[in-house]
Structure 1
Amino acid sequence: MTYLNHHHLPSVLDLADSALRPLDGPQDLRTAFAVMAQLRPHLASEADFIERVTRMRAEGYRLIGAFDAGVLAALAGYRLQENLLYGPYLYVDDLVTDQAQRGGHWGARLLQALERLARAQGCARLVLDTGLANARAQRFYFREGLYTGALRFQKVFDSA
C-alpha cells in the first residue's frame, strides 16, 4: 500500500465548515485523547496515544477535529492512500463523536469534509471499516451515502 504525500493539502476543511480544523500540535493531541479514547479504549494513556499518532504520521495519518464553542466535539483520523484495487483513495481510520455531543451531526460534517478533501486530492473513493456487529454505525454510514464494498478477513496474532 502506498501512502500519498499530502503535506500541502488545500484548506478545503476551513472553507466549507468553520467548526473543523486540523489537529496538528501537541496540545491538539492532548485534547484529542479524551475523545479518541471513547472509540479506542485500549489506548494505555495520553502518552501512548501521542506516541502512536506521531509514529503513524510518518505513514500519512492525520487528524481533524470538530469544535463546538471551542470544545472538541468530534474527530476523524484519516490517510490518503493508493493501491492497485482502488487507485488513490482516502481511508478513514477513526471517526468518533464525544458521547456528550452525539446527535449533533458532527460525524456527518466530518465525513463531508473528508469527502471534499478526497475529491480535491483526486481520490476515487472514501473507505472505512466498521465491525460486523456494529449495527448503529452501519446505519449511520448508510444514511451518509457509504455502502458496503468489501468484507475484510484477518488473522490475529498473539502479542509477545
Structure 2
Amino acid sequence: MLIQKASSTTDLAKCRRAIQALRPKLTDEQYDDAILKTLADNRTMVFVEENEEAAAVAVFEVGYNLFRGKYLYIDDLSTLPEYRGQGYAGHLVDWILAYARQEGIDEVHLDSGVNDARTDAHRLYLNKRFKVTSLHFAVSIR
C-alpha cells in the first residue's frame, strides 16, 4: 500500500469522506476551512488511496513538551467503512511509527474514545504495542 502525504487541494478532497467517517459533525461546508486550519497548525495528513479517494487517512502533529520530549500525536485515524478490516489503518500506523523513528521522535501518542464501536481500533493500537497510560480529562467551555 502506498502511503501519500496530502499536499494539494485534490489530495485534501480525496480525504474528505474518510475524515468525515470519524468526524461526522464536520459538514461538507466546514471541511475545507477546518482542514486548512488543522494543517496550518503544524499537522500532517497521510492517506492510502483506492478508487481515487482515501480508503484510510491519518492526521498527526509533531511537537515538544517537558513531559514527553519530542513527540508525535495522532489526532485522527480513520478508514472508510467499506475498507475496514483490510489492513489500511495498520499500514498507516506502521508508516507513522517508522516516520517517528526516522525523525528522532521519543514517543507516539493518541487518544481513542471508549465505546463498543471503538473495539477494533483499540485492538489495532494494542497490537501495534501502544499502551494505555492515562485517563484523558476535558471540560467543555461552550
Same fold (TM over 0.5): yes
Other structure's SS at 1:85 match: coil
Other structure's SS at 2:4 match: strand
Deviations 1:83-134 (A, max 9, x none): 1110001100000111111111011100000001111111111100001223
- Residues 9-48 of structure 1: matches in 2 within 5 Å? 19-45=2-28, 47-48=29-30
- Code of the residue aligned with 1:95 in structure 2: it is L
Q: 2:15, 2:53 within 8 Å by CA — same for their partners in 1?
A: no
Runs (5+) with no aligned partner, structure 1: 1-16
- Code of the residue aligned with 2:139 in structure 1: it is K
1:119 maps to 2:121 = no
CA distance in 1, matches of 2:108, 2:32: 25
Task: Supply the RMSD in Å over aligned alpha carbons.
Answer: 1.5
The runs of 4+ residues in structure 1 deviating greater than 3 Å are: 68-71
Change (3 A) 1:57 1:71: closer
Q: 1:53, 1:61 within 8 Å by CA — same for their partners in 2?
A: no
Runs (5+) with no aligned partner, structure 2: none
Name the residue aligned to 1:102. Answer: 84
Other structure's SS at 1:137 match: helix
- Code of the residue aligned with 2:3 in structure 1: it is L
Identity across the alignment (%): 24
- Residues 59-78 of structure 1: matches in 2 within 5 Å? 59-68=41-50, 70-78=52-60
Count of residues in Structure 1 that have an aligned counterpart in Structure 2: 140
CA distance in 2, matches of 1:147, 1:92: 14
Give 1:44 deviation, angstroms: 2.0
Q: 1:79, 1:90 within 8 Å by CA — same for their partners in 2?
A: yes
Give 1:57 deviation, angstroms: 2.1
Name the residue aligned to 1:146. Answer: 130
